[in-house]
Amino acid sequence: MSVLIKGGRVITAADDYVADIFVENERISLIGESLDLAADTVIDASGRYVLPGAVDPHTHLDMPFGGTTTIDDVESGQRAAARGGTTCHVDFCIQAPGTSFADSLADWKSRAEGKQVIDMGYHIAVTDLKKGGSLEELASLPDQGITSYKLFMAYKGALMVDDETLFKTMEVAAETGALVMVHAENGDAIDVLVKKALAEGKTEPRYHALTRPPETEGEATNRAIQLARVAGCALYVVHVSCKEAVEPIMLAREKGWDVWGETCTQYFFVDYTFLERPNFEGAKYVYTPPPRDKANQDVLWDAVRRDTLSAISTDHCAFLWDGQKTMGRDDFSKIPNGGPGLENRLQMIHHFGVGDGRIGLNRMVELLCTGPAKLFGLYPRKGTVAVGSDADIVIFDPEKRHTITAANQESKSDYNLYEGTEVVGDIETVLLRGNVIVENSEVVAKPGIGRFVPRARFGEHLQAEPAVEAA
């Protein structure tokens, strides 16, 4: 099937120009002015932005956690992603204790079978190197297109690893060309603070944040950076939320070390006071790291503007407020950690980032599309609009108004972190490898169109944007 996109304003991380785009065999075949070509489908993109499909490197779909399972499975989560202009994501395959990495991957891939609406890859979350996966098996994963290892420095007694496991994994990554990702919080200190708060009868949602102070994130971030330096591996710090974690990343990058960081959409808009909302509504905003003092929001905008932080993800980990979050009504430590967000990342960052003058359009594309694709071995197949790239394309109306609400979202969650927010700019059409999966802002994709995408080793595609080949 061929597609001709006419007269759109093409925005990449490096360029901004008006052109036609011709798509055939699922890839971009030609970019030029006034292309006179026959196509099965012609889309008039006049007055619209033509963006690369967004890449979300941090999602949790169909994930068991805290005695329950995230409400969005692969199909509903990817429908939300598609509606939000995301055409590829990298989900976390979390190794069950005592289980090999191969068995864990087979389990997670089976959950996606026949349900995929967009393309996806996997990170492997290492939890057990003693009774489960081995270092040798871990070293073999990059040959299978699994080129990133995730380790949790928090969630003691569940997902948290000790420094020995963290460091050994870093050494394997240095040898295999994988990227190490860390959830950076001091889980031991947090465990002490949580137990102390509960013993004192402090059970409300706000204590989720008060027992995870920003210093615990800053300490773990610095520890991970220093250990990665010794091991000689590249490091990616996920969901950075505060100044205390931004600062060690900034210092490492100023020194030229192989350290990168991401933040998530919610940290720009949700602050600690949301946790204090009455009638247990604060539980909607229990995710980790927790919402911080509002002053950190300007710190994060500055960090993404200056490339101290190089990607904006969602950490989409959706639960029902009524029935899942309420498991912790009498004990904040039992509230499932996580929130929705896959659907609204582009809308929110465009409106409040570009629209309010905090970042430019090219930087928005770098943060949501190109940067994640490069860091996670998907570029230039994904993350840009260029001849030879997959025809993952978003046609975005910069003037269309949209009110964000749970009532009209694709996610199965019964709430939205940005409920009632009106944004200017919305996704109109989305193509996945040249196939229309969103039309007139409605998801039209059939499950099964999405694919697993093997990823290249870290660093193979960190070069500059490819030059546009015009007719």
From CA 417, how far away is CA 343, in angstroms rounded? 11
Of 28-42, 124-138, 208-222, the poorest mean pLDDT is in: 124-138
Mean per-residue pLDDT for 177-203?
A: 98
Residue 300 token pair: 């994060």
Kindly report, residue by residue over 231-285, the tens digit of the pLDDT: 999 999 999 999 999 999 999 999 999 999 999 999 999 999 999 999 999 999 9
Quick one: how far is CA 339 from the chain centroid? 12
Residue 191 has pLDDT above 80, yes or no: yes
Q: Is residue 348 part of a domain?
A: yes
Roughly what angle, to the nearest 10 degrees, separates helices 295-305 and 243-254?
Answer: 20
49 three-state secondary structure: strand
Q: Is residue 106 part of a domain?
A: yes
In this prediction, residue 312 carries a pLDDT of 98
In this prediction, residue 182 carries a pLDDT of 98
Q: Indicate which CATH number applies to the domain containing 91.
A: 3.20.20.140
In this prediction, residue 131 carries a pLDDT of 86
Q: Is residue 446 part of a domain?
A: no
Phi-psi bin for 201: left (phi > 0), alpha (psi -120 to 50), beta? left
Phi-psi bin for 338: left (phi > 0), alpha (psi -120 to 50), beta? left
Q: Is residue 165 part of a domain?
A: yes
Kindly report, residue by residue over 147-168, the tens digit of the pLDDT: 999 999 999 999 999 999 999 9
From CA 87, how far away is CA 95, in angstroms rounded? 25
Of 94-98, 302-306, 401-405, 463-467, the poorest mean pLDDT is in: 463-467
CB-based contact 53:372 (threshold 8 Å):
no
Tell me the whole-structure pTM to 2 decimals: 0.96
Q: DSSP of 269-296, one letter per residue?
A: T--GGGGG-TTTGGGGG--SSPP--THH
Of 11-20, 53-62, 105-114, 129-138, the poorest mean pLDDT is in: 129-138
Q: Is residue 383 part of a domain?
A: no
In which element (H, E) is residue 82 found? helix 74-83
Mean per-residue pLDDT for 72-89?
A: 98
Q: Is residue 179 part of a domain?
A: yes
Residue 446 has pLDDT above 70, yes or no: yes
Q: Is residue 264 part of a domain?
A: yes
Q: Is residue 470 part of a domain?
A: no
Number of domains composing the chain: 1
Q: What is the DSSP letter of 340?
A: -
Domain that holds residue 327: 54-375
Mean per-residue pLDDT for 359-368?
A: 98
Residue 52's nearest CA partner among 119, 2, 112 is 119
Q: What is the DSSP letter of 367?
A: I
Residue 66's nearest CA partner among 152, 158, 161, 203 is 158
In this prediction, residue 463 carries a pLDDT of 53
Residue 468 has pLDDT above 60, yes or no: no
In this prediction, residue 65 carries a pLDDT of 86
Q: How far apart are the first and last CA of the chain?
A: 21
From CA 132, how far away is CA 124, in angstroms rounded? 13
Mean per-residue pLDDT for 331-352?
A: 97
Residue 87 has pLDDT above 70, yes or no: yes
In this prediction, residue 281 carries a pLDDT of 97
C-alpha Rg value of the chain to the nearest Å = 21
Residue 263's nearest CA partner among 230, 231, 321, 306 is 306
In this prediction, residue 437 carries a pLDDT of 98
Contacts of residue 357, defined as CB under 8 A and 6 or more positions apart, other chains included, come to none
Residue 308 has pLDDT above 50, yes or no: yes
Residue 165 token pair: 């496991």
Q: Are β-strands 234-237 and 179-183 bridged in parallel, bridged antiparallel, or unpaired?
A: parallel
In this prediction, residue 470 carries a pLDDT of 37
